[in-house]
Structure 1
């Protein structure tokens, strides 16, 4: 059952009560997600950033309705004919079990983050410091209970504006409020940043150096090294105040970085 928020049940609704909080790291979601879960069905008032509830509820209604039209779902979601399981996930969004967002998303970045290996204390830090962008939910915190679903930042649902148009006015101020003046490291890809930008957030660009000295973006290394950077920011005891502090944490964790601009960090691979 999905309910309208009367106030968040997020256990750290008072941002000042967040443990270990000094920086908000916003991760991208992933197309791949784990199945199942042991949590109850989705309740929107259990999610952080309750000011997003209206858009969340509207999108869920549209996605569930669209799941009744397989061909329409394939077209809108960019799915092949062998993706009926993804459509079935959307059909049961309201009733399927949930699990914490940090355990729901999978793939290269989340493998590098390796949250499954966190100690109890490290997991508490991750819950406090990590948010995850989402086409369906706008953004969630690491411990928010969500079901498996399929909706990408570039999807276009029939009869609706673009997801960027739907989220922009709500998500940007929600993320700003969630950060509460803290340093923000935004590791989302461009399409998810367009859903709601965080002014002055530090971004990371992963570049692979070629033998001739040239540099280029490579998707796999991009995701892997952003996962390593996020892990370093979760586990550090340092309290960075700016991009230099973020670079120092990354370098200590074994990453090679350059500061390209006051809010752009380059992570270099070879």
Structure 2
């Protein structure tokens, strides 16, 4: 089983720790060159007076563009500790990272897609930074398109038996999708609210919270042995059904490459 997460805008910048070592990140040998290419392009943009606008940073975070000029000198923290947005808080990443068994699961089964790094293990050490996958950088282009050919072999090498649970947000989905030749079992997690009249609406902010709850529940289940690494999507649906806010779980039919929707229905 692999669990794919987006990063988060919310981050806790580490005050101490080792500096960046690209060779030790997931796919170090294969991805170090494209990572350096993105780092160079990002540093160029971040040094410009209009950096905040080009990077899509709001008024309160405009000054954070300067973080991108310190990537190789700044202290690093595990990705699961650096990112502190809604999904990560709902997953209880601070508690999971403090538990040895859960931390092993984070390192083996949880991947974070990233505009800057491409893809990370949840335990990979990286510095604070600001770069969304939806950004286009001079000399690199739109990051999702740039990263796709690089990430395909790295992620597919990690896909074995079992299912890939896709908790990514929209901008990060195009950076990797299974190829038809691999027929990967990919379950895309979505959240809908069912109204009393039976109509539905897709939710976004609360979807991050539910995806976080599911991620935390799956990590704990893998750490305890309640769910195995080769579990199928039906086993994942059972875990999702146990989440307190979830009224019902629905599984869509698989398409030609094995993708199907895992829909969490809220009442």
What is the TM-score when the length of structure 2 is the normalising length?
0.86
Match of 1:13 in 2: none
CA distance in structure 2 between the partners assigned to 1:59 and 1:75 by the alignment: 18
CA contact (8 A) 1:26 1:187 kept: yes
The answer to whether the aligner puts 1:244 opposite 2:223 as a matched pair is no
- The offset of 1:185, in angstroms, is 1.1
Q: Secondary structure at the match of 1:133?
A: strand
Q: What does 1:49-128 align with in structure 2 at a 5 Å threshold?
A: 49-50=27-28, 51-71=30-50, 73-118=51-96, 119-128=99-108
Equivalent residues, number: 247
CA distance in structure 2 between the partners assigned to 1:242 and 1:90 by the alignment: 40
Which residue among 241, 254, 257 is the counterpart of 2:249? 257
Q: Deviations over 1:66-97 (max 9, x none)?
A: 211031x1232112344333111111112110
CA contact (8 A) 1:48 1:140 kept: yes
- For structure 1, the 5+ residue unaligned runs are 1-22
- The offset of 1:29, in angstroms, is 0.9
CA distance in structure 1 between the partners assigned to 2:116 and 2:138 by the alignment: 15
Match of 1:165 in 2: 145
Match of 2:197 in 1: 212
CA distance in structure 1 between the partners assigned to 2:162 and 2:32 by the alignment: 23
CA contact (8 A) 2:162 2:232 kept: no
The answer to whether the aligner puts 1:268 opposite 2:231 as a matched pair is no
Q: Secondary structure at the match of 2:34?
A: helix
CA distance in structure 1 between the partners assigned to 2:130 and 2:178 by the alignment: 25
CA distance in structure 1 between the partners assigned to 2:85 and 2:24 by the alignment: 25
- The offset of 1:141, in angstroms, is 0.3
What is the TM-score when the length of structure 1 is the normalising length?
0.85
CA distance in structure 1 between the partners assigned to 2:200 and 2:216 by the alignment: 24
RMSD of the TM alignment (CA)?
A: 1.7
Q: Deviations over 1:10-62 (max 9, x none)?
A: xxxxxxxxxxxxx1111111112111243211110110122222111100111
Change in 2 beyond 3 A, CA 1:122/1:164:
closer
Q: Secondary structure at the match of 1:30?
A: coil
Q: Secondary structure at the match of 2:136?
A: coil
Q: Secondary structure at the match of 2:26?
A: coil
- The offset of 1:122, in angstroms, is 2.0
CA distance in structure 1 between the partners assigned to 2:149 and 2:162 by the alignment: 21
- For structure 2, the 5+ residue unaligned runs are 255-259
The answer to whether the aligner puts 1:230 opposite 2:215 as a matched pair is yes
